Amino acid sequence: MIRFDKVVLRYPVGPFVRGSIKSSFFRLFGHEPIDRAHKPRDHVTALDGLDLTIGRGERVGIIGRNGAGKSTTLQTIAGIYPIAGGTLTVSGKIQALFNIGLGFEPDATGRENILYRGLAMGCAPEEITSRVEEIVAFADIGDFIDLPVRTYSSGMYVRLAFAISTYLEGDILLIDEVFGAGDMVFQKRAQKRLRDLVNKAGIVVMVSHDTNLIREVCNRVLWIEHGHLRADGNPRDVTQAYIDAGGYYAE
Amino acid sequence: MSLSALSRAASYAGNTLRYRHFWTHLAFSDLRARFRRSRLGILWLALQPLLLTIIMSGVFIFVFSQRFSDYSVYLFSGLIVWEFVTGCFVIGGMSYIAAEGYVRQVRLPMIIYPLKSALYCCIVFMLAFSGFTLYALAVKPQIVSLHWLYILPFFLTLAVFGTPLAILSAIVNIRFRDFQQGITLFLQMLLYVSPVMMLPSVFEHRGLREWNSINPVSALLELFRAPLLEGTAPALSSYLLVLAWALLFWLLALALLARNERKIVFYY
């Protein structure tokens, strides 16, 4: 179960805006690199009072423009960022599939990485070894499983990561735009796997720009904009509204 | 400390323990990755200090008027302890940078990444020590005695001393990348004012003596060398000095960790 109650999330941007030693030095000579009138904020509000409840068995898709706060929402569910306001309740074991290659040891083989990733998810070594063959079979990358993962294509990363995340016991699966890299055969198998997972009373939350994929896989869609929830409903309606509002809109 | 703070600390420690398979496996994985396409592999961990010892001894025996067998054993012992200390700072400092993939995907106690680095340095030390043992047996076998059992408490002390250094380095470095430059310089300076390659007699001079009496690296080296090279029990005062410094580092490390635990992700 996931519950956001007026959640506020801010990124500090101070470290990037404060400037370098070099610019401070030149400032001594009167050079003003930053216009005082437009002094940048020291933080960016990524989520602004987000209210949301997701229950077991839901396959939720999140859509929205770039920078709307979709990935941030996923990362907040995963507990990676501390929230600045509101309350967040997440119960269940989380498995995250963010950026391709994230959390892989590049010089270790696929098999070894199954172990490390599983351990990072909090699974016991015995649990992982008992499921390794299932994972290898689902990933279906042939002999590459025994080669270092830095030799993999992005599609293979996705297949392996997805196989690991879905074969190790978890309650909440978070997927951030990684589906694009998988081929069609994989996508079909992955979608079926997601449905099976959710039938075991899990939750799947996925971010995607592919509205067709969202319609195929999800039974609920959230449209996030500027850190708020703009729409929340069945996939067909929300994706249609999103497409209709689409293109370039001035705010 | 309030009850809720204590229970939070306990659950944090429990969590760290729960994920022990993860960070211990990663330490071994790092070691394997280091030597993945190398023919000599982990042999380098003993070979590198050995070769350095031989070369440096070739010159320093004239500086210190020592026999090669005596000085080289002295130097080898110094180099492997020194390697551990620098490792805690430098490899420790990279802990969060190297772990970006994990930090950004899964929430785990932040202490585990520097713990992994410290464990890595401990493994390296043990392997280098094996090389040292073989060298000592070859060159000066009379020093190998029952006193060598003191290596066990020494090793524990070393680990307790080095771990908070890794934690501090990891946190400071992720926030201020200058740390990496600064610490290399600091370590170079520390090398010359510690009895790693210099004989203890050098530190009997006025000025150096006072510094040497509070330098934890001196104490560590004394704890290591007394039983191994001289066949005497290590001084309690040295243990106390090292542990006092270790306590200070632990307090600093845990305080810094508590403050920065949730902010580290923003420093990438």
Task: Give the mean pLDDT of A173-201.
Answer: 77
The residue among B177 and A168 whose pLDDT is bigger is B177
DSSP annotation of B262 reads T
Residue A202's pLDDT is: 83
CB contact under 8 A, A107 and B33: yes
Task: Give the mean pLDDT of A181-207.
Answer: 79
B56 is in which domain, residue-wise? 39-267
The residue among B78 and A70 whose pLDDT is bigger is B78
Minimum distance, in Å, between the CA of residue B249 and any CA atom of chain A: 26
Tell me the one-letter amino acid at A218: C
Residue of A83, A102, A127, A173 best to disrupt the B interface, most CBs of B under 10 A: A102
Q: Is the pLDDT of residue A31 over 50?
A: yes
Nearest to A115 among B19, B25, B102 (CB): B25
Look at residue B3 and tell me if it is in a domain.
no
- C-beta of residue A97 within 8 angstroms of C-beta of residue A162: yes
Confidence of residue A30 (pLDDT cuts 50, 70, 90): low
Q: Is the pLDDT of residue A249 over 60?
A: no
pLDDT digits (tens, 9 = 90+) for A47-57: 888 888 998 88
Task: Give the mean pLDDT of A89-114.
Answer: 84
pLDDT digits (tens, 9 = 90+) for A116-128: 888 888 788 888 8
Task: Give the mean pLDDT of A130-146.
Answer: 90
Residue A247's pLDDT is: 47
What is the average pLDDT score of chain B?
93
Q: Which residues of A touch B22 (CB under 8 A)?
A: 116, 119-120, 122
Look at residue B199 and tell me if it is in a domain.
yes
Look at residue B220 and tell me if it is in a domain.
yes
Residue B212's pLDDT is: 93
Residue A185's pLDDT is: 83
pTM given for the model? 0.88
Confidence of residue B266 (pLDDT cuts 50, 70, 90): confident
pLDDT digits (tens, 9 = 90+) for B50-76: 999 999 999 999 999 999 999 999 999
Look at residue B185 and tell me if it is in a domain.
yes
CB contact under 8 A, A108 and B33: yes
The residue among A157 and B184 whose pLDDT is bigger is B184
Distance separating the N- and C-terminal Cα atoms of chain B:
32
Q: Which residues of A touch B18 (CB under 8 A)?
A: 122
Six token digits for residue A155: 């599609």
CB contact under 8 A, A116 and B36: no
Q: Which residues of B touch A81 (CB under 8 A)?
A: 262, 265-266
Confidence of residue B166 (pLDDT cuts 50, 70, 90): very high
pLDDT more than 70, % of chain B: 100
Written in H, E and C, the secondary structure of chain A is CEEEEEEEEEEECHHHHCCCHHHHHHHCCCCCCCCHHHCCCCEEEEEEEEEEEECCCCEEEEECCCCCCHHHHHHHHCCCCCCCEEEEEECCCEEEECCCCCCCCCCCEHHHHHHHHHHHCCCCHHHHHHHHHHHHHHHCCHHHHHCEHHHCCHHHHHHHHHHHHHHCCCCEEEEECCHHHCCHHHHHHHHHHHHHHHHCCCEEEEECCCHHHHHHHCCEEEEEECCEEEEEECHHHHHHHHHHHCCCCCC
The residue among A30 and A88 whose pLDDT is bigger is A88
As to burial, measured by CB atoms within 10 angstroms (0-12 exposed, 13-18 middle, 19+ buried), residue B146 is exposed
CB contact under 8 A, A79 and B107: yes
Domain total of chain B? 1
Residue B37's pLDDT is: 80
Residue B95's pLDDT is: 95
Domains and CATH numbers, chain A: 2-245 (3.40.50.300)
Nearest to B105 among A12, A78, A122 (CB): A78
Q: Which residue of B has its CA nearest to A120?
A: B22
CB contact under 8 A, A112 and B29: yes
Angle between helices B68-93 and B178-192 (to 10 degrees): 160
Beta bridge partners of A99: none
Confidence of residue A15 (pLDDT cuts 50, 70, 90): low
Nearest to B36 among A80, A107, A125 (CB): A107
Which residues, in sequence order, are CB contacts of B201 under 8 Å at separation 6+?
none
State how far the Cα of A197 lies from the Cα of A97, in Å rounded to an integer.
15
Q: Does A147 touch chain B (CB under 8 A)?
A: no
Residue B1's pLDDT is: 64
pLDDT more than 90, % of chain B: 76
Count of pairs with CB atoms under 8 A, one residue in A, one in B: 71
């990485």: which residue's tokens? A113
Residue A41's pLDDT is: 67
Task: Give the mean pLDDT of A210-234.
Answer: 87
Look at residue B92 and tell me if it is in a domain.
yes
Q: Is the pLDDT of residue B101 over 60?
A: yes
Residue B48's pLDDT is: 92
Look at residue B10 and tell me if it is in a domain.
no
Q: Is the pLDDT of residue B118 over 90?
A: yes
Residue B160's pLDDT is: 97
State how far the Cα of B74 lies from the Cα of A247, in Å rounded to an integer.
73
Look at residue B111 and tell me if it is in a domain.
yes
Among the residue ranges A20-24, B5-9, B80-84, the one predicted with the least confidence is: A20-24
Angle between helices B3-18 and B20-34 (to 10 degrees): 50
Confidence of residue A27 (pLDDT cuts 50, 70, 90): low
Look at residue B162 and tell me if it is in a domain.
yes
